Amino acid sequence: MSAKFFNNVNGGGDMTGGSRAERFFSHFMSCQKQLYGYILMLVPDSHSADDIIQETATILWEKFDEFEEGTNFVGWAITVARFRILQYRRQKRKTMKQFNDEIWAKVEAIASTSQRERKQSRTSAVEHCVEKLNVKDKKLIEMRYTRDISTKKVAELTGRSRTGLYRSLARIHSLLHDCIRNTLAAWEMR
């Protein structure tokens, strides 16, 4: 994402969760790969996809004040991208042989289903791998992430030093990462 989005853009001031720019950047970066994947499935070349994601990001930034925190940013971003893709197709219709709208609707439905299935698979893999953790590790993950207790407070509650807790969390993250990667690979082989 270009720096132009973040130069003199603190128009929203400090709100819960950071400045307007920080909140936008956090939302956008959390879905950028998913959004780009969606665009690439519906646009024939990566150069056009790059242009569309930049245009989509610009529109999202310009309309970010209309976004309601707590709602589905990814869904909103995909909707904006869908309209940019439709505009791209209208512009290219004269110079490129294209599928008719019915075929594009089917491709888009398959793309959306595929994204939902991948997200569900990742969620299931995370749940599966967390269940495989030993009781102590599971408790640390639950305290830190499910109950959103600060690392400092978790260290106090468990009688550990913060350094020791950070090491434990890093070890658990590594275990989960490997487990999730292996689980998803095994599920794909089925």
Q: Which residue has the higher pLDDT, 115 or 131?
A: 131
SS (H, E, C) the chain: CCHHHCCCCHHHCCECCECHHHHHHHHHHHHHHHHHHHHHHHCCCHHHHHHHHHHHHHHHHHCHHHCCCCCCHHHHHHHHHHHHHHHHHHHHCCCCCCCCHHHHHHHHHHHHHHHHHHHHHHHHHHHHHHHHCCHHHHHHHHHHHHCCCCHHHHHHHHCCCHHHHHHHHHHHHHHHHHHHHHHHHHHHHC
pLDDT at site 121? 79
Domains and CATH numbers, the chain: 1-98 (1.10.1740.10), 116-190 (1.10.10)
pLDDT tens figures, 109-122: 676 666 667 777 78
In whole angstroms, give the CA distance from residue 105 to residue 102: 5
Per-residue pLDDT at 168 exceeds 50: yes
In whole angstroms, give the CA distance from residue 178 to residue 183: 8
Inter-residue contact 43 to 3 (CB < 8 Å): no
pLDDT tens figures, 47-105: 989 999 999 999 999 999 998 888 889 889 999 999 998 888 888 766 555 555 666 66
Per-residue pLDDT at 123 exceeds 90: no
Inter-residue contact 130 to 141 (CB < 8 Å): yes
Confidence at 147, pLDDT banded by 50, 70, 90 = confident
pLDDT at site 13? 38
The proportion of the chain whose per-residue pLDDT surpasses 90, expressed as a percent, equals: 26
